[in-house]
Structure 1
C-alpha cells in the first residue's frame, strides 16, 4: 500500500528562514523525476528581517526548478536576464540544463510590509539527453493551469498529466504535479498511468488503509496499488510523481547522471564560468568547501 512515509526535516536556507525538507531522503532519493522538495512557511516575515531571507545568486545544472507559492511574493532573477515577480498560483519553471545562476529576493512591497510567505519548491531531474540543453525560464499564469472541481475537491494541475487534465507547461519527461484541496470527509484517489506516485500533506490530515497521516509527511505509494485517501479534516495535498529516469548524483545545487559532470560544475562556479544574473551580480553564494551533503544540509542562501 505505502512504499514509505517520509517525514519532513528542518533545514535552514538563510538567516532565520527554516524550511521543511522532504526530498531527497536517505531511503528514497526520488519520486518519479522529482529529486528535491522543500516546503517553506507559512511564516509572517517581520519587515526588519526581509532582506536577510534573500536567496543570493547561486548555480544549477541538470535539473528544472519548479517554484509554486501559496502566499507571498518572490522576485526571481537569472543569468538569462529574466526578472520575474513570482505570485501565488503561478508556475515558475526554470530549466538549468548545462548551467544557470539565479537569485530569489523578498523585495515586493507586500513582503516589505511584513506579509506572509508560503511556498513549495521542487527540482525535477532531466533525462540524460536534456542534461546539457540550453537553460530556459517560463512563467505560467493561473489561467493557463486547468482547475477541476467537484463536491469536496478542488485541484489545479501544475504540470504534466493527471486526472484527465493536461496543460502546456513545458516538461522533459512523463510526470504529474497537482495542487489539491479536500474538504473533511472527502474520498480521493491517486492518478493512474504513472509508475511512481506520492502525496505530500501541506496541511490537514488524511487516512489511508486505516492509518492517519499528518502535515509534513510525504506518502509514497507502492506501484500498481490504488488506495483510497480520506480527508480527516480540510486538507491540502501536493500530488507528484511520474516515470523514474534512472539514478542521479546530487551535490549542493547540482544534479547529473555523471559524477564527473558534478565535478566540472563545481570548478565552473569557482572559476566564474557560470554567469551571474546581470541585474543581480554584486554578491553570490560561494561553492561550499569540503564535503557537502547532497542537498541535505545546504549552506545559507542555497535553497534552489
Structure 2
C-alpha cells in the first residue's frame, strides 16, 4: 500500500449466491463507512442459466438509503410504498428507508427465458441522525438524466453529488460523491479532493492511481486532500465514492443500519412480529430474520 495515497486497502468478502457472486467491501473490520457509504457490494458479472433469475424476497430496511446501479442486466424493484420500477444499466434507483420500508428485487420475467445477465453495484448510505426516521421514499433517475463528463479517453457518469463541474439530480441526504468511470485503453481522469472521505474501486479491467496498480474488487480509501490521476492501459471500469464524515458511529445488523443499537433491536422485533408494511403484489414469501447475519458492523 502506498502510504502517500491510501489510508486503507479493504479486501472483499465474497459470497456465492448460486449462479453469481457478490464481493462486499463495506462494512469492514477496518472501516465501517466512507462518507455516508456503509455497504458496498459488487454483484456479478454473471450470466444466469435460461429460465432462472435473481429472486431477493421481501425484506426490511431502516435508517438508510439504498442505491442500485447496474452495468448489465435488469432488476424489478417493488416496495411497500407501492413502487414498481425496472432498473436498467446506467440508471439509479434510490430507496430511502427512513423509519422503515420493505422491498423485493427480482429478475424481470421478460429476460428469464434467455438467462439474465447481472452486473452492477449496490450500496447503502447511512442517513444523518436528523433524517434517520424520515418518511420512506423512492426515486428513479434514468441514465439520460445523469451528467457525463469527458476525460482523456475516458467518460465519467456523475451518479450522485457534484464532480468535475457537473452535478447529478439524484437526491443526497448528506454530502455525497459517487461516479462511474469508464477508461478506454490509455485513458485517464483526475481524482480531485472534492470530499473529505473518498475511495476508488476497480470493478473491471486494469487501472492504477498515480502509478499504483489497483486490484479488482478492492476498495482503496484515499488520504484526505490528495489529488491523483487514475489511468488504465487496457481499459477499466472504476467507481469513485465518498462524502462528508458521518455525524457519529453507525451500527449494522442484517438489513438494518442505525446510530442506535436499541433502534436496530426494535426493528428485529418488528420484523419478527410482522409489524412492517407489506409489498403489494409480493407479500407472500418474505425473508425470515437470520440467527447470524452475513452483514454486521464492527465496534
Instruction: With the length of structure 2 as denominator, give the TM-score of the two structures.
Output: 0.93
Map of 1:77 onto structure 2: 78
Map of 2:287 onto structure 1: 285
Unaligned runs of 5+ in 2: none
RMSD, aligned CA: 1.5
Shift in Å, 1:190: 1.4
Q: How has the CA–CA distance of structure 1 residues 270 and 157 changed in structure 2, closer, same or farther, with 3 Å as cutoff?
A: same
**2:192–2:228 contact (8 Å) kept in structure 1:** no
Shift in Å, 1:295: 4.3
**2:23–2:42 contact (8 Å) kept in structure 1:** yes
Shift in Å, 1:193: 2.7
1:28 matches 2:31 = yes
**1:106–1:112 contact (8 Å) kept in structure 2:** no
**1:73–1:111 contact (8 Å) kept in structure 2:** no
Aligned 1:54-73 pairs, distance under 5 A: 54-73=55-74
| 3-state SS in 2 of match to 1:47 | coil
Shift in Å, 1:160: 1.0
Shift in Å, 1:86: 1.0
Aligned residues: 292
Unaligned runs of 5+ in 1: 297-304
| 3-state SS in 1 of match to 2:283 | coil
Q: Quote the Cα distance in structure 2 between the aligned partners of 1:138 and 1:117.
A: 21
Alignment equivalent of 2:15, drawn from 11, 15, 30? 11
Q: Quote the Cα distance in structure 1 between the aligned partners of 2:64 and 2:283.
A: 22
| Per-residue CA distance 1:135-168 (angstroms, 9 max, x = gap) | 0001001121111113311111111111111122
Instruction: With the length of structure 1 as denominator, give the TM-score of the two structures.
Output: 0.92
Shift in Å, 1:28: 1.3
Q: Quote the Cα distance in structure 1 between the aligned partners of 2:154 and 2:100.
A: 39
| 3-state SS in 2 of match to 1:156 | strand
**1:34–1:125 contact (8 Å) kept in structure 2:** yes
1:43 matches 2:46 = yes
Q: Quote the Cα distance in structure 1 between the aligned partners of 2:12 and 2:293.
A: 20
1:254 matches 2:256 = yes
